[in-house]
Amino acid sequence: MSPIDAADEGYLERAVVLAWEARERGDHPFGALLVTADGMVLEARNSVLTEADPTGHAETNLVRLAGRLDLATLTGSSLYTSTEPCAMCAGAIYWSGIGRVVFALSGEALAAMVPDESGIPPLRLTSGEVFARGGRPVTLDGPADLASATDVHRDFWT
């Protein structure tokens, strides 16, 4: 784990803006972006509802976009996300080769804001647990204390 600096916080705030955009268009409030070592930025939003795709999380959408990049570029990149990646997204991030993940709101804090779902119960497996079982390192930094990351979820899940 490395410290989250001011540049990281700026990217996390952008991820929250993307989450607001997803929410405003009728999707779940999650956003993510990838920053390569040479400064290229890719952005994605959640599209679960508008695309009727249960895998359309911001991070998996971002991994699809980033799949065009070579492994060395991905390994040297950082993925910034408004909320800690779920187990599915962590798996996609792992398989993509992305080297670092920085998140704002923790999965635990999100779970405290979301009432129990009917139908499919939540999968309580953290991204850290997923990455720890892999054969290559993925640096995981977070949570970052950003009020905006909590605000984007306020009153959405009730």
Counted residue by residue, the chain has a size of 158
Contact between residue 141 and residue 4 where contact means Cβ atoms under 8 Å apart: yes
Amino acid identity at 148:
S
Q: What is each CA distance from 75 to 139, 140, 145, in whole angstroms?
A: 10, 13, 26
Say if residue 24 is exposed, middle or buried (CB neighbours under 10 Å; 0-12, 13-18, 19+).
Answer: exposed
| Choice among 13, 21, 51, 59 that is catalytic | 59
Q: What is each CA distance from 55 to 6, 36, 60, in whole angstroms?
A: 31, 24, 7
Amino acid identity at 128:
G
3-class secondary-structure state, position 122: coil
The CA R_g of the chain, rounded to the nearest whole Å, is 14
**Annotated catalytic, 59?**
yes
Residues carrying an active site annotation: 59
